[in-house]
With several copies, the nearest count.
Chain A
């Protein structure tokens, strides 16, 4: 590998070219078009072993646990897989939004498990294990069958079955600096509203839920913290 001087013109002496091995070691991201996805495969069956051995203690055997993080599995239907829209995202049927309800890109799931899981030992899974456990999660969500072997070859097919694949949009003004805001409040100064009523206040049972507020404010100044233990 030849080590060329970096930006020799503008900033002599600073930085250097990356070697291809270095890039390979760090360039781990997988894009929605699957650029970055390493070749390989893994079966649902093998994924179940990985899951039970390295994941279930936090996420539950069915990805349903709410102990360490919000549930991964649940809230999606066969119908959703058809439409690519998770119906439960409208209305109040589902108590929490699971990961699979929100997920619009299978690349995201693969990439994230590969880079960050298991939470306490990230970047320790083999490529096969990542394929396998991703397959198993997809299987738990009934997106792929029990005998499925997920691979770089068929992952684009899976994408087409993600329950919420059509659920994300960018029709808003909050990405671009010049984007159009949702609301248009006015800077009225006098007699702006007739009556004001209180629509919500802290419930009494929650008064001390954040600890004694008296101990969270300065002991001098214009105010004291309310003694919420009293």
Chain B
């Protein structure tokens, strides 16, 4: 294998200079507390950052930046690494001037300041957010090298905010006629999405908090919708308005985008739920195993329909499987981290993970999805991902058949 391994394998004589010669930081005084009143990652971690996929979009303000899953741990996404998707760019807007309006089929159309919203009963819940187009580049042939680009439109945070049901109830929602809501953003795109009233009254959150602090500007500061289990486009950012209505709104992103082209030439509309899915993040595409021997295969699994029940891992391309360890907590519509022991013997290997959720649904093979949906539907690719380990230790993104 690689250079690092050879360095370790050689005779080290008296010992490792990194031990025998005490490092500088053991013999000097470090920096004071609050040198950074708001802390930042180590300078040695610069490689882990959000990135665009070249050629995917034409302009940066209507684009996406991907989360560096290849180097991440557990289920929580540090806020600085949360993936971005904007249609008309992001703004750092003044929260003192931000308002939320609720209108439509309610007794009392209302306006709320951020002060108002943050005084209401709050909940805090951990949920994943995944763009409907995540893994979309895999519908055809392999086109991107790493898990950052195949699966990086995915993040998971603890969100805090007001249950939407509380706001709607308090405005006197017309329960007889209300069938859908429209959520609308305050950015240039005025992003709009339809949500069924059952879902709106269930676990949707009008959120301001993310991992203990306020939402980041790129993620909708000061207010966004959290729609657990549903594709990210519905999690309207810079949320300014909720309208209660009696029919779907057929907004641009429900009629021209986020519609899934089927082999018969029709498009599926309102394909909202992110179905059960998983991916191995270590080792993954574009990585080199540093040596033969033991490895901890690690990845994440999630389901828009509830909890992850089990994750199986194969190292032979799906011939044989072993169930992985699941880390706790295992929460509904939230990432679950899995880990599995593996000894790499230096031969070729083909790594896959397969998640099963509490409904019993088993993450499908690419072939099975294609049988129904063809290869042009862009959205909702939750197929099993394959990573091929070559004898050199290099891991590649591959499709199997």
Contacts and interface: CB of A to CB of B under 8 A. Distances in A.
A26 B362 CA distance: 44
B344 to A, nearest CB: 8
A206 interface: yes
A1 B13 CA distance: 7
A167 interface: yes
Interface in A1-33: 1, 3-4, 6-7, 10-19, 21-23, 25-29, 31-33
A71 to B, nearest CB: 12
A145 interface: no
Contacts of B264: 90
Interface stretch (A45-53, A116-124, A134-142, A146-154): A116-124
17 contacts: A3-B11, A4-B108, A18-B15, A32-B248, A85-B266, A89-B261, A90-B265, A115-B189, A116-B88, A121-B29, A168-B268, A173-B273, A182-B368, A186-B362, A217-B287, A219-B95, A225-B47
Interface stretch (B74-82, B123-131, B138-146): B138-146
B110 to A, nearest CB: 5
Q: Which of A17, A69, A179, A219 has the most chain B CB within a 10 Å cutoff?
A: A219
Interface string A164-178: 100111111111110
Contacts, number: 392
**Shortest beta-carbon contacts, A-B, top 5:** A13-B293, A196-B317, A90-B265, A223-B287, A7-B170
A108 B252 contact: yes
How many of chain A's residues touch chain B, expressed as a range? 35 or more
B36 interface: no
Contacts of A76: none
Contacts of A206: 143-145
A178 B283 CA distance: 34
B142 A202 contact: yes
B363 interface: yes
A68 interface: yes
A216 B286 CA distance: 9
B38 interface: no
Contact of A216 (B51, B118, B142): B51
A119 to B, nearest CB: 6
Given A26-B19, A122-B190, A191-B319, A170 B268 contact: yes
Given A89-B265, A201-B397, A216-B47, A124 B27 contact: yes
A31 B400 contact: no
B286 A226 contact: yes
Q: Which of A10, A87, A103, A215 has the most chain B CB within a 10 Å cutoff?
A: A10
A201 B142 contact: yes
Q: Which of A89, A172, A210, A222 has the most chain B CB within a 10 Å cutoff?
A: A222
B12 A187 contact: no
B380 A174 contact: yes
A189 interface: yes
B120 A14 contact: yes
A229 interface: no
B247 A26 contact: no
B86 to A, nearest CB: 12
Interface of B: 2, 4, 8, 11-16, 19-20, 22, 26-29, 44-45, 47-48, 51, 53-55, 58-59, 62, 68, 70-71, 87-88, 95-96, 101-103, 108-116, 118-120, 141-146, 148-149, 169-172, 182, 184, 188-190, 192, 196, 199, 214, 222, 229, 240-241, 243, 245, 247-252, 254-257, 259-261, 263-273, 275, 282-283, 285-296, 305, 310, 312, 316-322, 343, 350, 354, 356, 361-365, 368-369, 371-373, 380, 388, 394-401
Contacts of A226: 286-288, 394-395
A107 interface: yes
Given A7-B108, A27-B243, A12 B294 contact: yes
Contacts of A104: 250, 255, 267, 269
A170 B148 CA distance: 31
Contacts of A220: 44, 95-96, 113-115, 118, 222
Given A16-B110, A108-B252, A224-B4, A28 B47 contact: no
Interface string A100-129: 001111011001100110011111100000
